[in-house]
Amino acid sequence: MLGEVYVPDFKEKINQSNLYEEAEYYAENDSFAGQDRRPAFLGAVSKQLVEEVKGMNGLMEKKLIEILVDLLNRRKF
């Protein structure tokens, strides 16, 4: 639905195909002094996703809500 999201803090384009790999990269390769940068990366991705959702028009918002409701209905609690 959102397709690709540009994360300016990390200068990365993220999509469903590369999110896991990029998070692992920041956990393993772009760390310094033993610090895992993955939380900062995932926080920046989350922040950008929120901004993308805020910028949606009414039709896209409705579709997103329908998808989320469907996913919640499929889940067994």
Ordered by start, the domain boundaries in the chain are 5-74
pTM for the whole thing?
Answer: 0.71
Distances (CA, A) of 4 to 7, 14, 34: 10, 6, 30
pLDDT computed for residue 1 by the predictor:
60
Residue bearing the bigger pLDDT, 29 or 60 = 60
Q: Which helix (H) or strand (E) holds 28?
A: helix 19-28
Give me the pLDDT at residue 22, please.
92
| pLDDT per position as a tens digit, 1-57 | 668 999 999 999 999 899 999 998 888 876 566 677 888 899 999 999 888 888 888
Predicted pLDDT at 17: 92
